[in-house]
Amino acid sequence: MTQENLATDLAAPLTGVRVADFSRVLAGPYASMMLADLGADVIKIESPAGDDTRAWTPPVDASGRGTYFESVNRNKRSVVCDLRQPDGIAEARRLALSADVVIENFRPGTMERFGLGYAELAAENPSLVYCSVTGFGAGDGAHLPGYDLLVQAVGGLMSITGDPDAEPTKVGVALVDVLTGQNAVVGIQAALRVRDRTGVGQRVEVNLLSTLLSALVNQSSAALNTGVSPQRMGNAHPSISPYETFNAHDGPFVIAVGNDGQFVKLCEILGLPELADDPRFARNEQRVANRLPLRAILQERLTTEVVAHWVDAMTAVGIPAGPVNDVGQAIEFATSLGLGTVTEIAGTDRTSKQISNPITLSRTPTHYRLVPPDLGQHQGADWLSTKGTQ
In a domain, 353, yes or no: no
Give the CATH number for residue 290: 3.30.1540.10
Helix (H) or strand (E) holding 260: helix 260-269
In a domain, 26, yes or no: yes
Whether residues 253 and 202 fall in one domain: no
Q: Are 210 and 196 in contact (CB under 8 A)?
A: no
Structural domain including 17 reads: 3-217+360-385
Phi, psi of 198 (to 5 degrees): -115, -20
In a domain, 83, yes or no: yes
Whether residues 166 and 287 fall in one domain: no
Helices and strands, number each (H, E), in the chain = 15, 11
Whether residues 76 and 199 fall in one domain: yes
CA distance 185 to 206: 10
Q: What is the pLDDT of residue 1?
A: 31
Structurally, how many domains does the chain consist of?
A: 2
Our CA angle for 106, 79, 149, nearest 5°, is 35
Contacts of 382 (CB under 8 A, 6+ apart): none
Q: 47-51, long-range: CB within 8 Å, 24+ apart, which pairs? A: 47/80, 47/81, 47/82, 47/83, 48/80, 48/82, 50/80, 50/375, 51/24, 51/25
In a domain, 229, yes or no: no
Whether residues 175 and 270 fall in one domain: no
Q: 234-242, long-range: CB within 8 Å, 24+ apart, which pairs? A: 234/162, 234/163, 234/164, 236/291, 238/288, 239/288, 240/284, 240/288, 241/284, 241/287, 241/288, 241/291, 241/294, 242/266, 242/287, 242/291, 242/294, 242/295, 242/298
Classify residue 286 as left (phi > 0), alpha (psi -120 to 50) or beta: alpha
Whether residues 202 and 292 fall in one domain: no
The beta strand positions in the chain, using DSSP E, are: 18-21, 41-46, 76-80, 101-104, 129-134, 203-207, 243-248, 251-256, 321-323, 342-346, 351-355
Q: What is the pLDDT of residue 389?
A: 45
Whether residues 118 and 21 fall in one domain: yes
CA distances from 212 to 175, 197, 344, 360 (A): 9, 31, 32, 25
Predicted confidence pLDDT, tens digits, the chain (390 residues): 334 433 444 589 999 999 999 999 999 999 999 999 999 999 999 999 999 999 999 999 999 999 999 999 999 999 999 999 999 999 999 999 999 999 999 999 999 999 999 999 999 999 999 999 999 999 999 999 999 999 999 999 999 999 999 999 999 999 999 999 999 999 999 999 999 999 999 999 999 999 999 999 999 999 999 999 999 999 999 999 999 999 999 999 999 999 999 999 999 999 999 999 999 999 999 999 999 999 999 999 999 999 999 999 999 999 999 999 999 999 999 999 999 999 999 998 999 999 999 999 999 999 999 999 999 999 985 655 555 444
Whether residues 162 and 303 fall in one domain: no
Q: What is the pLDDT of residue 10?
A: 59
Residue (of 102, 42, 36) closest to 78 by Cα position: 42
Length of the chain: 390
Whether residues 163 and 22 fall in one domain: yes
Whether residues 95 and 47 fall in one domain: yes
Give the CATH number for residue 31: 3.40.50.10540
Q: Are 130 and 203 in contact (CB under 8 A)?
A: yes
CA distance 29 to 74: 10
Whether residues 81 and 212 fall in one domain: yes
In a domain, 89, yes or no: yes
Q: What is the pTM of this model?
A: 0.92
In a domain, 271, yes or no: yes
**CA 13 remoteness from chain centre:** 20
Burial 60-73 (b: 16+ CB within 10 A, else e): ebeeebbbbbbbbb
Whether residues 253 and 189 fall in one domain: no
User: Which residues participate in catalysis according to the annotation?
Assistant: 177
CA distance 190 to 300: 52
Whether residues 35 and 131 fall in one domain: yes
In a domain, 65, yes or no: yes
Q: What is the pLDDT of residue 385?
A: 52
In a domain, 255, yes or no: yes
